[in-house]
Chains A and B, each alone.
Chain A
């Protein structure tokens, strides 16, 4: 094994050109992910978490541009690869399950055939081997093999999501990027799918980047948590550290705003204001207009990084350790 982490993102910055102006969706993001580890990326809509996922796979839309930074997979910089080379990485090394993946199935083809089609694009195996592989995959995600020959409309929402996960696993990728894969599902189905994700990940020693706005789901699936706000990672650490000793006021606000069904019923804190307009980001710390601890300094200068071991956050006024 090489000495590199599986995935290392260094200072990745991506801008969108829009009619209204330039939007900095991903702003100097650095992350690393070890083999077999799962990283939970949490943030609100528009904070850039899906843009980051697309940038990692170089699937960003045409009006987006990666300005600088590196995406190192096993030490190879994906940003500098040609489109042709990049294609050998997608799906084989990194697979993605999108937010609305359930709608990604083509209604006029049998689901099994669609998975085989994906396999054909990325391997040269014989047809029969691929058919067998689909059977294995269905077993892996707990779908009945009877459904291989059926059409998407015969699947329920949860089953479609399972089929999509099966498709993502088809080439045994090292890294799977899951962007809100359970958001549209009911809690009981969500529970089943999260559990399966966990089991499969362990079985195949796969790494996962799990994107969600739901703190509770992130707490359950992640070893390491990154909190994103207005294009930047504002806090990073192991799940225990981030949830038990959050540093950044935004992380703390998210936690106390989150209703829980267990334990004492605590008052829900309300975070004032709205997420910032990406066309017109606040100066200094982007969070300062909503931050209860903000000082003049926060509005003027970008916050420094506070480190407590491997756990860090960008803040001028961190709480006492």
Chain B
């Protein structure tokens, strides 16, 4: 990239993405006759960084806001509030939370997304070539011949070989694993700086899943792509991500080095989540998960700790005070809990 801004030392140190106070509040139950006063706090004051070429796992139960967070980073959803400072080291750092028009379209080259369901995320009437070349077409990159070459290259890269035989097939002719490889090729063809991968392997069979996981990990290290890897499966996150962030009801409750968190989870929610993961060993009997009840409502939640209603160690202090801030507990570990 020629038009690079003068690299300064502070620029070098900046992470690829710096997320500050990110929020998304969806209106709940608004209608033409009623002004809306109720909001679903899907993502509420989320802060984290994603380094260049780093993969960060965002884990949590369904409805905790992980997909909403991911979609805001690629601007498929507009944030209600907060900043996402993007700096790939080649230009001025920009706040992508408020981009519009041309700069936004320009940014889309740098940020791509891979969706969960390879059966739903592809147009059944478009060939594999059309599907993978679409980002180039949208961004108006290259001639048709160039695009063909690039698509062939990408197909080979994601292991769909020989590429020629896949070019003009349709999604229904491919298996789930092959489709997910097509989705990866489509995301990577514009050489993005980061990819939001939303449960990319959860619909795949075990024997196919590891292949796709391996491919994504190899491509990340080979091409220096950062991943925000969204998953509900801690075991998958362990293999894909060097750091993980645990989300609960719109808040990050624990973030840090993957192995450190798995070895000594500090937040009671992380502990519960870990203890609920089944162990593939019939001789092991796990202890019962300690937390009670189901996920509480996200509509205008009280200021207290989000986990308070289900927390096994909460006390009066937790009830009367605001949601605890993230505080450093271990070497690389930050936890949002008064009692941890």
B280 and A268: CB pair below 8 A?
A: no
CB proximity of B237 to chain A, nearest CB, Å: 9
Within 8 Å of chain A (Cβ to Cβ): is B145? Answer: no
A243 and B207: CB pair below 8 A?
A: no
| Distance of A192 Cα from B273 Cα, bound (Å) | 12
13 inter-chain pairs at a CB distance below 8 angstroms, sorted by A residue, are: A45-B205, A159-B294, A188-B272, A188-B276, A219-B278, A219-B281, A254-B207, A257-B207, A260-B235, A261-B277, A265-B259, A269-B210, A271-B208
Within 8 Å of chain A (Cβ to Cβ): is B274? Answer: yes
Of B177, B279, B294, the contact of A262 (CB 8 Å cutoff): B279
Of A188, A213, A265, the contact of B205 (CB 8 Å cutoff): A213
Interface 9-residue window, one of B28-36, B87-95, B282-290: B282-290
CB nearest neighbor in B for A192: B289
Of B61, B209, B210, B235, the contact of A188 (CB 8 Å cutoff): B61
| Distance of A257 Cα from B280 Cα, bound (Å) | 11
CB proximity of B234 to chain A, nearest CB, Å: 5
CB nearest neighbor in B for A259: B235
Contacts of B291 in A (CB 8 A): 188
Of A213, A215, A239, A270, the contact of B211 (CB 8 Å cutoff): A270
Q: Could you tell me which residues of chain B, from 41 to 74, have a CB within 8 Å of some CB in chain A? A: 61-62
| Distance of A159 Cα from B211 Cα, bound (Å) | 35
Chain A interface residue count, CB cutoff 8 Å, equals 44
| Distance of A34 Cα from B30 Cα, bound (Å) | 56
B61 and A270: CB pair below 8 A?
A: no
Of A187, A194, A271, the contact of B273 (CB 8 Å cutoff): A187
Within 8 Å of chain A (Cβ to Cβ): is B138? Answer: no
CB proximity of A260 to chain B, nearest CB, Å: 6
CB nearest neighbor in B for A195: B288
Which of B208, B280, B291, B294 has the largest number of chain A CB atoms within 10 A? B280
A187 and B232: CB pair below 8 A?
A: yes
Within 8 Å of chain B (Cβ to Cβ): is A63? Answer: no
Given contacts A186-B232, A240-B282, A243-B281, contact A191 B238 (CB under 8 A): no
A-B contact count (CB 8 A): 115
| Distance of A265 Cα from B262 Cα, bound (Å) | 11
Contacts of A254 in B (CB 8 A): 206-207
CB nearest neighbor in B for A40: B282
Of A191, A217, A220, A271, the contact of B210 (CB 8 Å cutoff): A271
| Distance of A221 Cα from B283 Cα, bound (Å) | 11
A216 and B278: CB pair below 8 A?
A: yes
Of A186, A253, A258, A272, the contact of B280 (CB 8 Å cutoff): A258
Within 8 Å of chain B (Cβ to Cβ): is A79? Answer: no
| Distance of A219 Cα from B272 Cα, bound (Å) | 20
CB nearest neighbor in B for A225: B282
Given contacts A192-B289, A220-B282, contact A265 B277 (CB under 8 A): no
Given contacts A188-B273, A191-B276, A239-B282, contact A265 B239 (CB under 8 A): yes
- Beta-carbon contacts of A251-287 to B below 8 Å, as 1s and 0s? 0011101111110010011111011000000000000
| Distance of A225 Cα from B310 Cα, bound (Å) | 35
- Beta-carbon contacts of A194-228 to B below 8 Å, as 1s and 0s? 11000000000000000001111101101000000
| Distance of A156 Cα from B61 Cα, bound (Å) | 13
| Distance of A224 Cα from B193 Cα, bound (Å) | 48
Within 8 Å of chain B (Cβ to Cβ): is A36? Answer: no
A275 and B205: CB pair below 8 A?
A: yes
| Distance of A188 Cα from B259 Cα, bound (Å) | 21
| Distance of A254 Cα from B177 Cα, bound (Å) | 16
A215 and B206: CB pair below 8 A?
A: yes
CB proximity of B260 to chain A, nearest CB, Å: 13
CB proximity of A163 to chain B, nearest CB, Å: 14
Within 8 Å of chain A (Cβ to Cβ): is B236? Answer: yes
| Distance of A244 Cα from B211 Cα, bound (Å) | 24
